[in-house]
Amino acid sequence: MNQRSFALRSLSQLLNLGLLPQILFNSFVNNQKHQEKMADIMEKKLSSEEAMKLENDHGAHNYHPLPVVLDRGEGVFVWDLEGKKYFDFLSAYSAVNQGHCHPKIVNAMTAQAQKLTLTSRAFYNSVLGEYERFITEYFGFEKVLPMNTGAEAVETAIKICRKWAYEKKGIAQDQAIIVVCEQNFHGRTTTIVSFSDDQDARKSFGPYTPGFVSVPYNDLEALEKAMSMPNVAGFLVEPIQGEAGVNTPAEDYISKAAEICRKNNALFIADEVQTGIARTGSLLAVCGNCNCEGHCEQQSSYTKPDLLILGKALSGGAYPVSAVLSDNDIMEVIKPGQHGSTFGGNPVAGEVAMAALQVVTDEKLAQNARKLGEIFRAEMQKLVDESPLLKGVRGKGLLNAVLINDTPESKTAWNLCVAMKDNGLLAKPTHGNIIRFAPPLVMTESQLIECIAIIKKTFLDYKS
Ligand SMILES: Cc1ncc(COP(=O)(O)O)c(C=O)c1O
């Protein structure tokens, strides 16, 4: 019996038994219930408790979020599901430098999303070339390779560096070494965790990718020694180690490290996924202590990386956009088919990134971060002097951390973040006894003063 006659026979049997109306009714009711449930979820008629339970029940437990459920954001503020308002002092790990839902970025994104979202790189698209010209001119490089996430851009830089080493430097195949720093954080792919010393990020994810050598951060002597080994292709470094707790190196570390790379014919690779795009009070952290009043002037403190890695704030947090920038002599080692991504370079990403970078220039976000950062650290230093709970404050621009006078295993930093949340400000511990403070760079001075008051009150009221 074929499928059609089987279905007809089943239907006539159901009709004979009078079951069809019941079946149709049940299916209607079930469908109705399912639709109501979906509508509830879509309309977010949830309490914070319910939303947290849903994540807990249905999502992998690969994060340990602060117990707050955010539903809306605007500028420096976010609101939870019950409508409570908070100052955001994390900015999605420095992705939301331009503030939540910046209208110029959102408009660029929605306008392009209604026109053309994705072509893949199988074809040209009408935005990519314009974006590539914009971003290369903006940062002063000849070429860009567009990707989506920070980790992908780091992987991209590693691949370019290795290929450059074999094809331009003449290192024997599979022998290239990239020097990295202890306590680094460059993302979470299998290759990247291979050279991490964070046991949570690394343990049980082997076998690990070879070809990396670690040196202590901010130690030029150790770097000099490592870079003079045979087969060294490059040095991959964060100009300030964000995840490690805003480890801020000596002022000349980056420029001297780049000099050592040049001396050894190796690439200087700056991972500015977190530090870049105005966060540290200059367009890039490799700008050093500049006092640019307008768009980046690349003053004498500027160190040009051979490969610059950007992500996060490249889209103002609206969309995953990352990039690797370099000059022709390096980027030309990549040929068709050797690297890519379906979404990398899509037209929405291009429009979003151009808008996000334009906001940084127009609203003088680097200059604002520079000015507010000075105020923040000075006020935190007063608190450190006053409170036995604190050991110190460090950072640059609006990427700062306070060090808690407790062990890295203690819960004090976490408890303080929960107490700050209750007082209307959201920050997160990095490792153990360190709290990172990184608000959107659109914050005003009076808002910052209000935030400092919340932080001080929380710390001074805190009872362990
Ligand atoms: C310096 C640095 N590099 C790379 C990454 C990875 O970026 P993503 O999480 O977008 O993959 C991060 C993320 O925090 C970072 O801080």
243 lines ligand 1 (CB under 6 A): yes
> What CATH code is assigned to 103-362?
3.40.640.10
311 lines ligand 1 (CB under 6 A): yes
Residue 22 Cα to ligand 1 midpoint, Å, equals: 56
186 lines ligand 1 (CB under 6 A): yes
Looking at the chain, the domain(s) classified CATH 3.40.640.10 span 103-362
Which of 274, 275, 430 to mutate to test ligand 1, by most ligand atoms within 8 A of the CB atom? Answer: 274
Hey, which residues does 179 pair with through a beta bridge? 213, 235
My answer on whether omega of the bond before 210 falls inside 30° of 0, hence cis, is no
Closest residue (by CA) to atom 3 of ligand 1? 186
Overall size of the chain counted in residues: 464
Widest distance between CA atoms in the chain: 90
Strands (E), 361-447: 390-396, 399-404, 425-426, 428-429, 434-437
> Could you read off the pLDDT tens digit of each residue along the chain, which spans 464 residues?
455 555 556 555 655 656 656 666 666 656 666 666 666 556 657 999 999 999 999 999 999 999 999 999 999 999 999 999 999 999 999 999 999 999 999 999 999 999 999 999 999 999 999 999 999 999 999 999 999 999 999 999 999 999 999 999 999 999 999 999 999 999 999 999 999 999 999 999 999 999 999 999 999 999 999 999 999 999 999 999 999 999 999 999 999 999 999 999 999 999 999 999 999 999 999 999 999 999 999 998 999 999 999 999 999 999 999 999 999 999 999 999 999 999 999 999 999 999 999 999 999 999 999 999 999 999 999 999 999 999 999 999 999 999 999 998 899 999 999 999 999 999 999 977 999 999 999 999 999 999 999 999 999 999 87
Atom of ligand 1 nearest to the CA of 241: 1
Cα distances (angstroms) measured from residue 230 to each of 53, 165, 225: 53, 12, 11
Residue 237 Cα to ligand 1 midpoint, Å, equals: 12
For the annotated catalytic residues, the residue numbers are 185, 271, 312
Q: What is the pTM of this model?
A: 0.91
Angle at 48 between CA 47 and CA 51, to 5 degrees: 90
Distant-in-sequence, close-in-space partners of 173: CB < 8 Å, separation ≥ 6: 166
Fold for domain 67-98+365-461?
Answer: Aspartate Aminotransferase, domain 1 (3.90.1150)
Query: How do residues 247-274 score in pLDDT, each as one tens digit?
Result: 999 999 999 999 999 999 999 999 999 9
How confident is the model at residue 133, as a pLDDT?
A: 98
Looking at the chain, the domain(s) classified CATH 3.90.1150.10 span 67-98+365-461
Residue 327 Cα to ligand 1 midpoint, Å, equals: 23
SS3 content of the chain, % helix, strand, coil (to 5): 45, 15, 40
Closest residue (by CA) to atom 2 of ligand 1? 186
